[in-house]
Each structure stands twice: as C-alpha cells, then as structure tokens.
Structure 1
Amino acid sequence: MVIMCFLKSKFHFWLLFALCLIKCSLEFDPDDNHLINCGSPTNASVGNRVFLGHSSVNSSIVLSTPHTIWANTSSNSIPFSFSSDLYKTAQIFTGSSNYTFSVSKHGRHWVRLHFFPFVYQNYNLSHAHFSVSALNFTLLRNFQSQEDIPVIKEFCLNITSDKFALIITPSSKSFAFLNALEVVSVPDELIPDSVKTIDPPGSSENLVHQALETVFRVNMGNVTVDPRNDTLSRQWIPDGSFLRSHNLVQFLSQPRTVNYTEGGTTKEIAPPSVYGTASKLNSELDPTLNVNLTWYFDVDPGFKYLVRFHFCDIISKSSGQLMFNVYINSWYAYKHLDLSRVTSNKLASPYYLDVLMRESHSNMLSVSVGTSSDASVYPNALLNGLEIIKLSNSRGFLDVDPESLKSRSKVKAGLIAGIAVGVVFVILILASAFFLVVRRRKRTQCDVYGNKVDGTPESGYQFSLAAIRKATDNFNESLVIGVGGFGKVYKGVFEDNREVAIKRGNSDSQQGLNEFRTEIEMLSHFRHRHLVALIGYCDEQNEMILIYEYMEKGTLKSHLYGSDNPSLSWKQRLEICIGSARGLHYLHTGSAKAVIHRDVKSANILLDENLMAKVADFGLSKAGPDIDKTHVTTAVKGSFGYLDPEYLIRQQLTEKSDVYSFGVVLFEVLCGRPVIDPSLPREMVNLVEWATKLQKKGEVEKIIDPNLADQIKVESLNKFLETAEKCLAECGLDRPTMGEVLWNLEYALQLQEDEAPSIESDDVSLQIDDARPLQTLPSTRQYSLESAGDIVDISMNTVFSQMRNGNLK
C-alpha cells in the first residue's frame, strides 16, 4: 500500500513536472516583466499576471516624484470586470516624475500605460493633461484621458542599456496620473528589424531605432480576444465596427482547426483564438462579381504605419482552393496570395504578412481582401486578424507634431468664429500673393532637382526657371501640346531624360493665381495611380509654372473623335472608364472631406503609354461639404454640356455633380462624338438629349460609335447604359456614388470578357431591362477603394490641370 502510494505520488510529481515543461516551452516567459498596480499598496491579479502594489515593488523599480498622491475609488461601475481592481487606484503626479527600471535583456520591450479616470478628493482625473516620454521619444503629448472605459496605450521600444527611464511630465497648471504600468520583454521574432514598403513597392524601412505604437489590434470574425487567451496578454477587438460592407461578409469561428507547425508562425505572433476566426466573402454572392471586403480605420496623418495581416485557411478542404488579393489603401499588399503555397500546402497553418505604408495626409487607412482574377477556384477571400502599428516620425513623436496641433487649433478657431466664405477667400488670396512675392525676393538660383546652387537643400518640388527654360528649349512653340484657361502646356525633357508636361501660366489668365494655388495646396493631399501626378512648380520672375508627369497618349477626347488617333476598342474604353472612376472615387472618399473635381470631361482624362486613364485638371476643384452639410453653395463653374443641371440651377455643389458629368463622359465614350456639336441637326446637337431619347425608343444601335460595330456584347452594353442613365438622374440623390459607378463598370467589363454572343449589326432590340436594378452597395465607403494598387507615394500630391490638343473651355 505504501509502495503504491509512493509510486502514485511519484507519478503525479513527474506528470506535473512534464506539464510545467510543456507550458514553459509553449508560452513566452519574458526576461523583464515589470507590472505595477499604481497607487495601491496591494497587488492586483489579472488572469495569471500579478501587478505589484507599491509595498511589494523591489529595488529593480525606482519612482522619483516630488510629491506622492495615492488615489482610489470605491466605484463598482468599472466596465472591464476582467481587471477591475487594476482601475480602482491611481498614482497622481503633480510634477515631473520618472520610473526607472532595471533591464535584464536588451531588445524590444512593451511599455503599456493604463488609464481610467475617476474623481479623488480635489482631483478629477479626466482633467489631467500630461506628456510621457522615454528614450528621446515622445509617447504621449498633452494627453487627456476622458474615456468612460479603461484605455491602454501600448508602445514598443528598443532598449539597449541596463536602465530604462519613463518620464511623466504634467502640463502647465495640471497634473498626471497612471492606473497601471507594464514594461515587458517582447519575443525577438515579434517585431522585424526592417519591413518592405508598398508605396512604392520594393524598398524597405529599418525599424530598429524607431519607437512603435499599437493603434489597432483587430480580430476578424467579429469576436473579442481578451488578454487571458493570448500568450502575450494582448487584447484583440472585434472587426465588425470597422467593416463597411456587412452584406458581403460571413463570420467564421473554428479555433480547433488551427495547425501551428515547426518553423512556421508561432502563438506569439497571434493565438489560435485569432487564427481560428475569420471574416470571409459571403459564399452566397454571385461568383462572377469582383468585390472586396474592406475595413476602414481612423489614423493620425503624417505618420508611417506597419500593417500586419494574419491569415489562416480554415475554410478549404484541400490545398490550392484559396487565392485572393490583399490591399492597403488600394495598393497591392500581396497580389494573388495563395495560402497553400506560402504555408507549404499545410491546411489551417497560420501565416502573417508585414507591409509598411509611408506618410499619408489622410486620416483614413483602409485594408481590403478581394477575389483574384488568376484564381482557378471558386472566388473567395478571408482575413483572420490585423494589427496597425504607428512608427515614430523624424522628430521622435508618436503623437501629432506641435505644428500640426497649432494648425488644427487655428482651423478650429476659424470655424468657431464663423468667418464668411467670401472673406476667407479674399484673405487666402492676399496671403498667397504676399507669400509668392516674398518667395520671389528670397529666391536663389536652383538646379533641375530643386537644390540651391550653393548646395543648400531646397524643396524637391521647386524647380528653377532656368531648368524649365532648358527643358522646353526656351518655351519653343513647336513643343506646345495643349492650351487651356490657365495657359499653354509644353512637352519638356530634363537633363535626366525625364519627360514632363510643363504648364505655363498666362499672365492675362483670369484663373491665374487661383488655379496655381489650388493645384499645389489643395491637391497636395492626394496622389493616386489614376490622378496625373504633379511633379513640381516654379514661381520665379512673375512666372507661375506647374510641372506634371507626361501623358504620352494625350486626352481621351482625342481618341474618341477629332483626331487621327486609332480608334479604341470597347474593352479599352471600359478600362479607361474604370480607371477614371477609380480616380474620382478616391477623390470623393480618400480623406475626411471629399474633393469635388467640378470639371469632369473627356478632355480632362489623360492616357499614358499603356492607355491607362488618369484624371486631370484640378484648377476648379473644391472641398466637399462638412459632415453635417449636404452641399457646398458656390458659383457655377465647369464646362458647358457636362454641368449638373441641379448645380447649375441651385448653385449647390455635391459629389453627385461629378457623377452627372461622368455620366456624360460615358455616353461620349459609347457614341464617339462631341457632347455639343452645332454642326449637326438641331435634335442631335446635345449628345445626352439625343442619346437618351433614342435609348428610350429602343434604338440604341443608332447611337453607338460605328467603330465599335460587332464588338460589344449585349449584357455588357446593358450594364453600361444602365449605369450611365443612373448617373444622369435629374435629382442628385437618385444618382449612384462613384464607388457604385466603379462597381458596375467593372461588372460590365466582366460581362464583356465572358463567353456570350456579341451585338450584330442588325440587332435593333437592345432595350434596358428596367426590372433589373442597378447593382449597388449601401454606400461609397462600403465599397473598396479600388481593386488594384492605385494609391501612390503621398508626399506631394496631385493632379493635372493641363488642357491638351486644342482643348479649350
């Protein structure tokens, strides 16, 4: 009996020992694991982690503060029951203070700051203003925590010394507070030393000497993962609130299927509760549709972001059944991602992808997954998890720069003051004129790359007049490629053999300074594959010159009529319309406030050497209405024949005004004739009136460009006409968004490429099926910002204001 008990006891001992070894081998054990329950003398347990009260803190942690205030609350309403004890106490700092930690292992460490404000005696913690810094990085600046739920700020710093100091500095006449603090070692493999960029692709960014901040950590499948279910105590929030197309998604949960393999992705990268859930395309969708699942996230502009995608094929029954595209802001993050290939044909094996987005002026970042045109299986796409991590900027800030804060406060003050639009406009014009005069007085000679002759760097977008004269052979008239309201456009060639389009402002132009300033300032917030890029400018010697990328094939207009250019095929025309729609859609949705083009027409759609379309001429562009407004009231500007009648009558401008103009362009593309042609019989002078009249009579074959004979398939034509007709609705509210127009044009292209009978010359019965609704999505933001890698380097930004090949307003 004694022997049996001994053996049994011994068995239990070895079993327990084995389990401990397994646990240690599976879970990360940090070398540094400093957890502090600030303001409390007692410890607080959070899952299997213990946050030490100040009476338990040892000599490895030293707090230096001019005055110690330990605050507590008896409130039971803390909405985070998992760690509610952690947020019932706080350390209040009335002066500059610092925590100093002993560091056992050099390398990446998480610094997590916990905040939950409450009232203690005369201190209302929600009124605290303070900054936090470490290792010459500003982690928080003028921070104020007013949330009614606990907030955790997570930073990742590369500590290379045996001591680490965290400095807490209250703002003037204020104080600071902390509920809890963590300084914890990070697994070596978690953060890469460098990561590849996608804008432009191919280059890489070194992360070793940069501070990082976790902005979003999201679990797809719309399921929360709390820290107890993550080996690194991370919280993953559900993705449902970030989705913009709930009708396209299905949520999955199969955590038991996740298969971590040796040498592959580990649980430290993400736990099975993340890889085992997913958001995927709805299997009930039409498999012929080219759609994306898209998530939108609010981010601080002016920072680089590391974006980590988490994938795990928990839906396929065998290898090779899943391929899709991955996008960030419509850039390809991965084209034709085959999870079987990247995981060596191991089903349900986790895989993650790191990419870096460079600085953006937009406060919105979108990620998408969508069907791949190369997929030979049933179209599908999924995403399991996502992390968005901010990189410190060149000044060491992980918060908005002081200059940006000042700028925002000035804008807010201006808005509050309610300055009349006319007064603001006059002030801006006068300020711009003064700015240009001062700049001219201070101007020194620059070389072609915008560097002063004395070697002092100048703006990379500012070109010397001497360099421009040389590039255009002193503005040789033989190099003129277009004329517009602003002035002539010349083809130029710089010393590095770069071809450009140089638009020289006419001193007699009424547009002049307005258009010059609009294109440089307003459009400096955008750069996109389907917007003609502004390369630089020159404002020397009373010259106003804009320099753009050269578009070899000229305008869409010149390829439709009025020139000797070869006729475009129907497929080429569809692709050009799709590219133009992508550019306009990005303008309408790529920032917090839409940009309305106001002069959409075939002459302002330019084509590169591959006939890729790019929207141009933004001299008339205007910022769209505020969120609480439906329109912008402004004087009518644009081109005759393309103007939105609602805008023309009411002077109320919206994004739908661009949609109307684009509808006119669609008919121009189909019919291959000018919008207004006085040489034709009276009933044919106006393209839209003539085309829509014949369309309603069922005589569509009479309006189609003869060059397209026998090219167009019935289904494609029907979808195209249906889309154009909707764009031209009299009421703007009845028109689709540009996102919906784009969606339908891509569908029309797919119908054209499918095997179906094409239109015969004697086919006279192409009526639009009114019972078949225009296929739309609930809103523009619910449609992905394009299905290709379209957004390019947003460091200057752009669009072309050039008029080509005799294009006159």
Structure 2
Amino acid sequence: MHRDLSNNSFMPSGVPSWFTELPGLMTLTMQSVGISGKLPQKLFSLRDLQHVILNDNELNDTLDMGNTINDGLDLVDLRNNKITSVTVYSSLDSKLLKLEGNPLCTDSLLSNTLLCTDQLTEFPTMLPFSDVQCPHPFVETIFFRSPSFGDVRKFLPELHDNLSRTVSSCTPNKLGLVPYVDDVYLKVDIKACPVNQKRFNYSQVLNCFNLTLQTYKPPENFGPYYVKSHPYPFHDKASRAILIGVVTGSVLLVVGLALIGVYAMRQKKRAKKLVSQNNPFASWGSTPEDIGEAPKLKSARAFTLEELKLSTNDFKQINAIGEGGYGTVYRGKLLDGQLIAIKRSKQGSMQGGLEFKTEIELLSRVHHNNLVGLVGFCFEKGEKMLVYEFISNGTLSEALYGMKGVQLDWSMRLKIALDSARGLAYLHDHANPPIIHRDIKSTNILLDSKMTAKVADFGLSLLVSDSEEGELCTNVKGTLGYLDPEYYMTQQLTAKSDVYSFGVVLLELIVAKPPIYEKKYIVREVKTALDMEDTMYCGLKDVMDPVLYKMGGLLGFPRFVRMALQCVEEVGPDRPKMNNVVREIEMIMQDNGLTPGSMSASSSFSVDSTTRTFAPRYPYSSTSTPSTTYEMDSRAFEYSGGFPSQGSLKNRNTSPKPRSSRERGLPG
C-alpha cells in the first residue's frame, strides 16, 4: 500500500491517527502539508513499511522511533521540521535517517553527523536481479506506473516468474531483468536470449514479446504499464549488404523495363482514357474528400444520379427517414418496385469521403444474415451515396424507446441480442482480414420485418490483421456512452473494444434507456443496483424496463446480466470474445426452452467470391436518431457517469452461489 498526499492545501493539524492503522503500508509520503506534533513509535515498527517521507512540515518534540524498528525500513526523511531532539537506540541505523534543517542540527553534537549533513541524496543503485548473456539478446523496457517501491528487489522474483511463464515458448530459462528508477516510476529491462539459434525471428518476437496489447497481466503490486521495444538486428551486416544489393539490382531492372515500356504506354493512353470513362471511380482523388485509393469492389451495382433522383422524387424532404454524422438517409422506390434506403453524404464532408470508401469496400465483400449488405452505390458529380434495401422496422433504439409503438418481450430481446452477436462475431473471427466495427450501438442495429437484427453502418470500421490489432490509433473514434474507456485512454484498438460497446447494448436491452441519460451512465447504474442474490431481477427492478417485469417470463435473466457485465469489464482481457458471447446466448435460450434459430456465426455466413446470380437483400445502415462521433482531439469528450472500478462485479459482495460449468464466466 502506498500513500502520497504531498503538496496539498490541508488545514494544519496534528499527526493523523491513521498513520499506525494501515498494517499493509509500504510507502508514506506527505511533504509540505503542515502536520505537526510527535511521530508515534508504532509507525516505525509496521511490518511492511519501507519509506517514510515527511519533510517540510511542522513536526516537533523528540523523535523516538522505539527499539522495534522494522528491518525493512530503509529511508526516513524528516528534513526541515522542528524536531528538537532524538532518542537513539542500538537498532537505529543512522544511514536511513535524514534530519537536516531541524533545530537539533543547529549548534549541537549532531551538526556534523550523517543525520544532519544530508549525505544520502540518492537511492542505492539497483543491481540486475538476474542477467543473461548472449550475442544478440532481445531487449524491451516495461514502464510500471504504480507508485514508487521501497525495495523493488523483494518483488522482482514474482515478476520474473510471471514473465518467464509468458515467454517460456521462446526463451525457457533465459530471461533476465534489470530494474532501475526513473523519476517516480519503475522501469524494468527484459533481456531474453534465443535457444539453439543465433537470433530471434520475426514470428518469435511477435508471438512472445508483443506485450503492447495489454494482454499480459503483471503481478498486482506492479499496476498499469506500457512497453517500449528496443531495435533488434534480425540480420547481420553481411546479410544486409546482400539484401541491399538484391534490392538495388531489382530497382534498376524495374527502371529499365519501365523505360522500355514508355512507348507502349503512350500508345495505349487513348484506350485507357476510353476505359476510364466506364469506371465509376475514374475521377476518384479529384477532390480533397477522396481519401486514399479508389474503393475496391467485389460486387455492387453502380446507380446513376438520375436513377436515385427519380426514386426519391429529387430527394424531397418528405422522403428523409434519418440523419447522422455522415449525411441523410432517404427512402426510395426503384422502377422495378424494390424499396430502397439511400444514404447521401454531406457535401464537402471530409469524414464522409473516408466513411464512404470504408463502407463500400467492406459491404461489397462480406455477406452474413446478420450484417447489412450493399445493393449499390452512386459516385457521380460530387455525390457519394450508398444504397440498401429498405428495412421497415427501423433501429433497435426506436423499438426499445417506444418510437415504433411496439413492445419487445424478453424472448424477442434475447433473439435480437443473439442475431447482432452473430453478425459481430463474423466480423471478428471469419472476415479475412478481421474487421473491427468501432461504432456498435443500438442505432446501428436494424430490425427487418421478421424482427431479425442486422449490424449496420461500417463507416468507422477498420480492417486489421493479427499483427496490427492493438497498435496505436492516432484518432480514437466512436460514440459517447458506447466507447470502450480502455481504447480511449490507451489508443490501442482491439476486438474487445467492440465487445465493450456490445455489452452496453445488452444493458440497453434490459434498461431500455440510452447509455447516458439524466447525467447517469447505464453501466455504473446497473453495477450499483446489482444484487445477484435476487434470483428473479438481480436487484435491477428499479432500473430495468417496466415492460419486462410486467410481461414476465425473464428466462435465464441472471445469466444474461452476468454475461453483459463481463462484456463491459474495464480491462479488455477480462472481456469474452464475441464467439463465446454467441454460444452463451444460445445456451441461455436452449436451457430455457427457447429456440435460438439457425446455427452460430461459424456456420451461418457466406463469403461471395463470384458475382451473385440472384437479387441480394440488403438493409440500410444509417441511424434515425442523431448520434455524435468523437475523435481523440475532441474536447467535448467526457463520460458524465464515469467508469467506477469499485463498482465492478468482481469487487462486489453480491456474487452468486457456485454455478455449473456451463454458467461459469465466458473465456476471453
């Protein structure tokens, strides 16, 4: 336990009684806070105490540390107080005590002793806990942000064992730790040597030493951390010279071939111009809104601007059915009678250009029963429009908040949760490369005429490979209330960020209110009211949707609540994967006599690698309720409800009785 209350504007007072009431106290730091009086002997005999730093206060009288001083105590800094005398015992080590600036150091026998001359100005240099030697070790530094340690060497064996288990597949018994203090934080160099080889390869470094995803959990005493890797020579100088020679030769060869082909390219220039006229994205990049390369499509119909004007009566306002940060959504009808929804981007929107490119590429290559699919697009005369099949029942938020005049019973909410979980699980585990949505919310879950849920609006989504997941994002994006706080604070995006947002949607299915309402945050309100000993409502009757307890039939409700709270755990590794969420909802429904419908995400999807031979059915992906997208540099971002760590399920005394293996926590 560490206490640092320095430089606060407290009212001057005597020595607090709680000084001796904290048996686990390791470091006590209270500089310049105005405390006065005599320090109690009991303070210095606390078993775990290592540092006492109380300089620049009003402590007075005689310093009597007693004859039972803790052996682990290695620093007592009482400089610049008003101590007039000190009682010396044989057990007192004068090297640990600093009394300069007190009256007893003025014209006394102690004036020229270590007690009064302030000779100890630095902590002793820490020697390596364990070191390994090899020609090409891999080194990375962990910065631990917990408060200062008294003697970190006492805790290094636990850290060494913990790290050794993590990297045992790459460097068994060849891991060294070199700790040192930088300002107030502890830094530890991890030094690892390869086994039966000269150097580590790329795969070993990525698989064993990639601790930047926050997937590694250090011992509890070490607290939060971040990692900085040192440059590593994967190739020696000779190999590098060969590589440079090969690359240089290849470049010269390419340049030669390019010069030879100049004549042929000029001859084909006129033909390419004719071909580009038939390419709907031939003009991509001509305006600042067109970010990056033109969209790459697998299958999608290109509509003309005139076709879409005709279908919406020239985009009359009466046909507008929703509006969001991207633009406006219109209802239309094609000449063959098909109803469509058209998302039209705002003119001159820089965000619109990027979202248009992202969504059109993603939707043209992924197909799943619970994902929005693309009918077509229009890229003409500065217009960027996406076309979907019209969905009659709108968004989940409209259904929950009573805007559609329907009431969803518990079994229907379970089905909606399962449908949307299957769609999201497909994006994470079956798309290639995986897709992180980044904007899961109830307004981005659509309900068709059969109340089948479909995940929509891929404007903020990212394609990520396994090696890219968890890398730093320069712009953190998402919607207030649903945004993963760990993603916002660390700027490291993983699939678990989508899981957090989906967990908020699951709580929304219970409460039927927006994630932030009346200055309250839904996650905190549910955790605060939670009582798992209430087997029917889990203590949530006062915060849940009145429709639910009036209609009854809350089958599997405690398991659903437990799963939802696991999804909104503050730390990503503590949250389940979406495939596990799908299986848990299926089991909740099956165990309570409900039919979960078709098979789970792993067997209910299809990837279209060829042109489809039938008319696709795709919904739209806009929102009918305005939502706000936040970037990292937005000064408006603030969670009014906060993210209280003490309200988490694992810290409450309301845990349920032992459960069967099926009811236990979901794997992460």
- TM-score, normalisation: structure 1: 0.38
Larger radius of gyration: 2
**Between Structure 1 and Structure 2, which shows a larger proportion of helix residues?**
2
- TM-score, normalisation: structure 2: 0.46
**Between Structure 1 and Structure 2, which shows a larger proportion of strand residues?**
1
